[in-house]
Amino acid sequence: MDEQATGAVTGGVKILLRLEGLTLFLGMVVLYASWEGSWWVFALLFFVPDLSFLAYLSDAKFGALVYNAAHSYMAPVALMTFGFGFASPLVLSIALIWLAHIGIDRALGYGLKYSTGFNFTHLGRIGRRPAA
Domain ranges in the chain are 3-125
Confidence of residue 39 (pLDDT cuts 50, 70, 90): very high
User: How many angstroms separate the Cα of 109 from the Cα of each of 54, 58, 79, 121?
Assistant: 19, 24, 24, 8
Total Cβ atoms within 10 A of residue 33: 12
Q: Mind listing the pLDDT tens digit for each residue in 11-20? A: 999 999 999 9
pTM comes to 0.90
* Residue 65: how many other CB atoms lie within 10 Å: 16
Task: Express each pLDDT in 69-107 by its tens digit.
Answer: 999 999 999 999 999 999 999 999 999 999 999 999 999
Averaged pLDDT score across all residues of the chain: 91
